[in-house]
């Protein structure tokens, strides 16, 4: 490694994130018209324990944003290794993400992913737009456990299992 930069701007960002791996979740919401929306997220993170706060990022152009913006209420589904096909569905064409038997209505009608390892629901308590995208904080109020599977990971456009303890 050298401390001299070898890339600038987008290239520096892209080459660094190609060496990053992320846990995979599905964020869902229920539109005011009663239609479920959602997307596969690789940005889920913990922000605080007291109160319990989680964060994720999304594009303001996302098909899910109008529902989240108007209801301020989301479900966050943690995906396990066995859920990689669901991760693909929920990252595919918007209008087909809820075609199938991979979800059910949870508290308040929020879509929950069947087979997820856990889920939690909460209110959007902060949302900061930055350049056509938005970082969102959710205060968790309830949740449940699902399949006792190991977490699903995403790296370099592939879904991966979790490996050995170091």
In the region spanning residues 89 to 148, those forming contacts with its own copies, defined by CB under 8 A, are 104-107, 112, 114-121, 125-126, 128, 130-133, 135, 137, 140-147
- Which span (6-14, 26-34, 63-71, 90-98) binds its own copies, by CB under 8 A? 6-14
Smallest distance, Å, CB 18 to its own copies?
8
Q: Which is nearer to its own copies, 72 or 160 (CB)?
A: 160
Are the C-beta atoms of 111 and 71 separated by less than 8 Å?
Answer: no
Between 91 and 162, name the residue whose CB sits nearer to its own copies.
162
User: Can you give the length of the chain in residues?
Assistant: 166
Site for its own copies in 40-69 (CB under 8 A): 42-57, 59
Task: Give the integer Cα–Cα distance in Å for 111 and 108.
Answer: 9
Per residue in 30-53, is it b (16+ CB within 10 Å) or e — as a string?
A: beeeeebbbbbbbebeeeeeeeeb
Terminal CA-CA length for the chain: 22
Residue 153 interacts with its own copies (CB under 8 A): yes or no: yes
Of 57 and 71, nearer to its own copies (C-beta) is 57
Is 89 strand, coil or helix?
A: helix
Q: If binding is defined by CB under 8 A, does position 28 make contact with its own copies?
A: no
């Amino acid at each position: 490694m050298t401390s001299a930069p070898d890339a600038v701007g987008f290239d520096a960002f892209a080459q660094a994130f190609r060496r990053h791996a992320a846990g995979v979740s599905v964020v869902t919401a229920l539109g005011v018209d009663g239609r479920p929306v959602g997307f596969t997220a690789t940005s889920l993170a913990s922000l605080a324990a007291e109160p319990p706060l989680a964060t994720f990022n999304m594009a303001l152009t996302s098909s899910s944003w109008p529902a989240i913006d108007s209801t301020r209420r989301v479900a966050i589904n943690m995906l396990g290794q066995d859920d990689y096909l669901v991760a693909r569905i929920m990252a595919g064409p918007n209008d087909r993400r809820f075609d199938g038997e991979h979800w059910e209505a949870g508290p308040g009608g929020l879509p929950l992913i069947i087979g997820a390892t856990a889920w939690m629901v909460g209110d959007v308590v902060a949302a900061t737009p930055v350049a056509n995208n938005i970082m969102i904080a959710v205060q968790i109020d309830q949740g449940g456990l699902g399949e006792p599977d190991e977490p699903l990971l995403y790296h370099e456009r592939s879904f991966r299992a979790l490996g050995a303890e170091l």
